[in-house]
Amino acid sequence: MLYRAVDAHGISRLGYSRTQNGIKVDLRSRDPVFEPSAQWEEHGCEDPRITNFDGTFYITYTAFSRRGPRMALASTRDFVNFEKYGLVGPDCDDKDWIIFPERIDGRIAMLHRPESREQIAYFESFESIRDPQEFWKKYLERLSEYEVMRGKYSWEEKKIGVGPPPIRTDLGWLLFYHGVSMDRIYPAGAPLLDLHDPSKVLARAAQPILEPEMNFEKSGVVPNVVFRVVL
């Protein structure tokens, strides 16, 4: 597991821990495995998601700087050695992004959140993700064409953001995400996306499947949060 830790100055770093049963932590890194290493992440490395893609674990995370949140990418094969690729998204506020664990119609698919709504994008290769400038220029000119979903119900009225990578099922891609109400409460929801065209939402729960109820969910750096659902 990669987790976000915040120091007394509000700077986020990512740590690594390992468990065999989901309860007892067998190993925990003494030092961060990710920390700010360039100006584009000067205020922290946040919100990691991990996708196992053909034996390589790709880590999508948010790089935060004075310019705001941006999408950043890294990878590892052993969770000992990590390679950072830098910023890979458009030059605008964008975060909460994931990569699908397999190709869809021969392409690599990703979800991300510019302008408080979930969008989809496709790439031919990971190399093209890491060299994105011309792609994003054209993409932003047609942003509305790539929208998957936005806040629809009162508990997600302010914004939404995806959690872990989607899970393939016989009925479609099961996606977990958080919504934010106007009162800044973060519950979790679950839509089902089409297997062959995940821009199509087949079903979407009208009510949250998980809400902040326990003390550890109601207090913290950001209170009243069930931020990401992990199975």
Lowest mean pLDDT, pick from 103-107, 205-209, 223-227: 223-227
Q: Into which CATH architecture does domain 1-149 fall?
A: 5 Propeller (2.115)
CA distance to 23, 190, 200, per residue, from 60 (Å):
25, 20, 23
Q: What percent of the chain has pLDDT over 70?
A: 98
* Pairing assessment for the beta strands 82-87 and 108-114 based on DSSP bridges: unpaired
In sign, the C-alpha dihedral spanning 169, 109, 80, 90 is: negative
Across 196-211, average pLDDT:
96
Does position 229 have pLDDT exceeding 80, yes or no?
no
Does position 231 have pLDDT exceeding 80, yes or no?
no
Cβ-based neighbour number of residue 36 at 10 Å: 18
Question: Residue 221: its pLDDT value, please?
Answer: 77
Q: In the chain, what are the domain boundaries?
A: 1-149, 151-231
Question: Residue 134: its pLDDT value, please?
Answer: 82
Question: Residue 116: its pLDDT value, please?
Answer: 87
In sign, the C-alpha dihedral spanning 96, 167, 52, 128 is: negative
Across 138-148, average pLDDT:
93
Question: Residue 228: its pLDDT value, please?
Answer: 61
Question: Residue 96: its pLDDT value, please?
Answer: 94
